[in-house]
């Protein structure tokens, strides 16, 4: 009995020493040593006063976003885990706040929200000049025909994704079956325009990149609904001059074809073409562009859909990126961006679009003119701070669905709008 008692005492005395040693080993491991935690704050205000449906509406929302992004190191240089928390606090909102994509629509009331937006395992390998990564879980995704959009919080996707890189080539693929929108804590399915479930979206892209050329081909399908392919080219002539080309094509599948016409954006196929040029003489940044859309619809004006389902965000890098505007059937658009670096940290400029197409013998016009500023201080004390402002008027046409509204003389009604945006982003490492 005495020997047993002595043995138990020795075991108890040794246990803390073993635990401390184990803890020390864990803390010294690459999994912990190479981990990081970043805190981000995202203050955003968006305002739009418009009358496109015949009634003046103010879409206004102001929210304060907070993010915590944890990234682990790798166990045995192979496997790890990352996660992100997002919170949004309501600061102000109008009745039509939901269209701003900032605050949560809680049964018709604007509110803040909290969510674990990312939680995924990761693995990597590197052999024979080939580097690869594999991810599984909830994750930000900018891949193929899907992308992540950031307001006070980002949208994320649940699924599997991965990439393989060799020399100048990169292949990426993803399969996702749920999403969480940028203005909501909910985990939701992808949907058709008439509210039917889409089980999954799969997508991928192949990129070739050299010093002067970047070529990206993308492909993706929302199951039995829409199929999309795209080509993006960036051609660099020299340090000051570059050219861009974007072509996106969307074709229909069975679930889309079976919908009633009022829910469709186009009949059977839609394509958006865009070209642009970027010239940087000295402190100036000059970027003109031209865009054209084909999206025939028999009983209305068709339009190119940026997204291949509800509850997803579509890749779209044309200069015509502005809601659903500038992407209507046979619409021609002239875009222009002019910036000037007042200092190396402070850019100010103008951004404008002018679009036009024909409808029953009349030319339908729409456009906007915005002034913007961007401050990204380079001082170490303010590293990772960005302040962006944008404001300007716009003009479009009154419509019912996609059909323009006419007055008593048969003339298409024009409507004016005013919009502004203010955003402050700041990030810093906790460890």
Tens-place pLDDT, residues 32-52: 999 999 999 999 999 999 998
pLDDT tens for 343-397 read 999 999 999 999 999 998 999 999 999 999 999 999 988 989 999 999 999 999 9
Does 235 have pLDDT greater than 90? yes
User: How far, in Å, CA of 37 to CA of 59, rounded?
Assistant: 35
Looking at per-residue pLDDT, the higher value among 274 and 7 belongs to: 274
Is pLDDT at 25 greater than 70 in this prediction? no
Q: Where are the domains of the chain?
A: 71-81+114-429
| pLDDT band at residue 27 using 50, 70 and 90 as cut-offs | low
Cα four-point dihedral sign 19, 24, 25, 31: positive
Taking a C-beta distance cutoff of 8 angstroms, is the pair 284, 338 a contact? yes
Q: Which residue(s) pair with 369 in the sheet?
A: 352
Closest CA to 301 of 332, 265, 274: 265
The CA distance from 329 to 315, in Å, is: 19
**Angle at 364 (CA atoms; ends 359, 369), nearest 5 degrees:** 160
User: Which one-letter DSSP state was computed for residue 407?
Assistant: -
- What Å distances lie between residue 428 and 84, 212, 221, CA to CA? 15, 34, 37
Q: pLDDT band at 26, cuts 50/70/90?
A: low
pLDDT for residue 133 is more than 50: yes
- How many CA atoms does the CB half-sphere of 221 hold within 13 Å? 11
**Fold (CATH) for 71-81+114-429:** Porin (2.40.160)
SS3 126: strand
Residue 86 makes CB contacts below 8 A (sequence gap 6+) with 65, 66, 67, 114, 115, 116, 117, 153, 154
Q: How far is CA 217 from the centre of its chain?
A: 18
Q: Is the dihedral of CA 189, 193, 198, 200 positive or negative?
A: negative
Residue 332 and residue 358 in contact, taking contact as beta carbons nearer than 8 Å: no
Q: Summarize pLDDT for 397-423 with one digit per residue, the tens.
A: 998 877 889 999 999 999 999 999 999
Burial of 76 (0-12, 13-18, 19+ CB in 10 A): exposed
Q: How confident is the model at residue 24 (pLDDT cuts 50, 70, 90)?
A: low
Helix (H, G, I), strand (E, B) or coil at 95: coil
Give pLDDT tens digits for 216-234: 999 999 999 999 999 999 9
Contact 110, 90 (CB under 8 A): yes
Say if residue 74's pLDDT is above 60: yes
Q: For residues 25 and 299, what is the distance between their CA atoms, to the nearest angstrom? A: 69
Size (the chain), residues: 431
Nearest to 144 by CA among 168, 124, 171: 171
**Distance from CA of residue 366 to its chain's centroid?**
25
The radius of gyration of the chain from alpha carbons, rounded to an integer in Å, stands at: 26
Give the list of residues 6+ apart from residue 295 with CB closer than 8 angstroms, or none.
265, 266, 270, 271, 302, 303, 304, 327, 328, 329
């Amino acid at each position: 009995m005495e020997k047993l008692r002595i043995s138990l005492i020795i075991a108890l005395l040794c246990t803390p020493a073993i635990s401390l040693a184990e803890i020390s080993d864990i803390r010294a491991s690459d999994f912990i040593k190479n981990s990081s935690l970043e805190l981000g704050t995202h203050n955003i205000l968006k305002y739009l006063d418009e009358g496109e449906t015949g009634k003046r509406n103010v879409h206004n929302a102001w929210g304060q976003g907070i993010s915590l992004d944890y990234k682990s190191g790798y166990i045995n240089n192979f496997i790890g885990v990352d996660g992100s928390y997002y919170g949004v606090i309501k600061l102000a909102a109008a009745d039509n706040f939901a269209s701003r994509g900032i605050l949560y629509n809680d049964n018709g009331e604007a509110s803040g929200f909290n969510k674990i937006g990312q939680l995924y395992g990761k693995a990597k390998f590197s052999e024979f000049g080939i580097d690869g990564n594999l991810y599984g879980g909830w994750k930000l995704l900018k891949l193929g025909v899907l992308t992540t959009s950031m307001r006070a919080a980002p949208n994320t996707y649940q699924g599997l994704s991965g990439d393989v890189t060799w020399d100048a080539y990169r292949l990426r693929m993803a399969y996702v079956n749920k999403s969480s929108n940028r203005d909501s804590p909910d985990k939701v399915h992808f949907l058709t325009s008439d509210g039917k479930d889409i089980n999954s979206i799969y997508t991928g892209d192949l990129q070739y990149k050299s010093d002067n050329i970047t070529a990206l081909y993308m492909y993706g399908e929302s199951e039995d609904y829409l199929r999309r392919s795209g080509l993006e080219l960036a051609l660099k002539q020299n340090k000051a001059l570059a050219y861009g080309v974007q072509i996106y094509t969307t074709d229909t599948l069975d679930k889309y074809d079976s919908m009633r016409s009022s829910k469709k954006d186009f009949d059977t196929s839609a394509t958006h073409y865009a070209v642009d040029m970027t010239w940087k003489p000295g402190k100036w940044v000059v970027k003109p562009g031209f865009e054209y859309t084909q999206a025939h619809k028999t009983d209305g004006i068709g339009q190119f859909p940026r997204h291949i389902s509800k509850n997803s965000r579509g890749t779209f890098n044309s200069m015509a990126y502005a809601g659903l505007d500038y992407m209507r059937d046979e619409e021609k658009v002239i875009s222009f961006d002019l910036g000037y670096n007042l200092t190396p940290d402070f850019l100010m400029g103008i951004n404008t679009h002018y679009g036009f197409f024909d409808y029953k013998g009349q030319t339908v016009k729409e456009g906007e003119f915005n002034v913007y500023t961007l401050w990204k201080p380079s001082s170490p004390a303010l590293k990772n701070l960005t302040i962006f402002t944008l404001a300007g008027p716009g003009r479009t046409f009154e419509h019912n669905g996609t059909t323009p509204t006419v007055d008593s003389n048969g003339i298409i009604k024009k409507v004016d709008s005013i919009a502004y945006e203010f955003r402050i982003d700041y990030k810093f490492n906790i460890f």
